[in-house]
Amino acid sequence: MVRRIVRSRVADHPAADDLVQETLLRVLGAMGRVEPGMLEPYAIVTARHVIASMWKDQDRHRRNQHRMADLRLPDAPDADLLLGEDRAAVAQALQHLSDRERDTLLAHELHGQDTRSLADELGSTAGAVAAQLNRTRARLRVEYLLAVERTEPFSDRCRPVLIALSSGDRRRQRDVDAGRHLLECELCARLSQPLLGRGQQHDDEVRIPIRADADVVLARQGVRELAARAGFSPTDLTIIATAVSEISRNIVRFATAGEIVVELLEEPRPGVRIVARDTGPGIPDVEQALTDGFSTYRGLGLGLPGARRLMDEFAVVSEVDRGTTVTMTKWRQEGSP
């Protein structure tokens, strides 16, 4: 019976954005049709399906692609095994929540209790309850993914980073320096894929991984495209692309891996911010690296100081053996459209 539901559900809802939201809403919708004793397994299967379609959307991780294939062929011999696996994962994820978090979430999503009456019961406000529910959903997604991967976080930085990504809270992501952690932590880089894809692709931001020479060209093109949308003049676009070229090259030359994140700004006026992170050896003397003529590669020693001259704001933070983050901003000229 469960299998049949899964199959029909897969056909009906090919895409899913949010594991818990979707799962619980579906369970809620099916409550009348499901026998009381079957509610829990049904929820688990639905959860698994939602997750699977999430992975499918991402289409990034081979290991999980075959999970998906299994789901689309529910008669495959190991389907029951996988089903058990997911049931365990959901159970394990739920265990990581506090009693209060779990009860509130279930009361809201499963029994339809609204945030106002929950707030009354908990001696809180509706807004606070709603925020708490969002955090709980974000945590549940993270715990589920960890359980599915059958792994523990590599460090105590992993959970805060993953939860910040899961909740889509950009400020929190900055606070925990999520971008840097994803460069450093292979596990989180992998788990972040389905989390980042949760329907919140920001169209005012692009992220370009930098590993090889060719990526420098991609970074130049990426930043040019995005900045063009902010109305920069052709000259400014070339200036920004040139600065990005310089700092991306630094990543390729000095670090094994890094990324360029380009973000459009609205306040106080239109602009573009570029963050370049790497996991390189770091710069022991930033002051010196910003001096003209200081160079350890075949350039003109213009990498950092040159980029600084091209941009309006420029900051370098570097830690030896850990890496470097360059943050630079260009504001659109007043006269531009």
Q: Tell which one of 36, 77, 123, 234 touches other proteins (CB under 8 A).
A: 234
188 or 252: CB nearest Zn ion: 188
CB of 189 to Zn ion, least distance (A): 8
- Determine the size of the site formed for other proteins (CB under 8 A): 34
Task: Give the span between the Cα atoms of 273 and 266, in whole angstroms.
Answer: 11
- Positions in 242-301 near other proteins (CB under 8 A): 242-243, 245-246, 249, 252, 292, 298-301
- Positions in 177-216 near other proteins (CB under 8 A): 213-214, 216
Query: Which of Zn ion, other proteins, none does residue 310 bind (CB under 5 to 8 Å by kind)?
Result: other proteins
With contacts defined by CB under 8 A, name the span among 7-15, 65-73, 255-263, 303-311 that binds other proteins.
303-311
Contact, 87 vs 53, CB < 8 A?
A: no
Cis before 268 (ω within 30):
yes
Q: Tell which one of 91, 217, 315, 320 touches other proteins (CB under 8 A).
A: 217
Contact, 143 vs 92, CB < 8 A?
A: yes
CB atoms within 10 A of CB 309: 13
> Per the structure block, which two tokens stand in for 14?
């090919």
Task: Give the span between the Cα atoms of 181 and 159, in whole angstroms.
Answer: 11
With contacts defined by CB under 8 A, name the span among 48-56, 81-89, 105-113, 329-337 that binds other proteins.
329-337
Reduce the DSSP state of residue 326 to 3 states and report it: strand
With contacts defined by CB under 8 A, name the span among 24-32, 151-159, 200-208, 305-313 that binds other proteins.
305-313
Query: DSSP state, 193?
Result: H
- Residue among 99, 9, 96, 78 nearest 48 (CA): 9
Task: Give the span between the Cα atoms of 242 and 7, in whole angstroms.
Answer: 52
Contact, 188 vs 164, CB < 8 A?
A: no
193 or 238: CB nearest other proteins: 238
CB of 13 to other proteins, least distance (A): 40
With contacts defined by CB under 8 A, name the span among 22-30, 46-54, 101-109, 232-240 that binds other proteins.
232-240
- Residue among 130, 163, 129 nearest 146 (CA): 163
Where do contacts with other proteins occur on this chain (CB under 8 A)?
Answer: 213-214, 216-217, 220-221, 224, 233-235, 237-239, 241-243, 245-246, 249, 252, 292, 298-303, 305-306, 309-310, 333-335
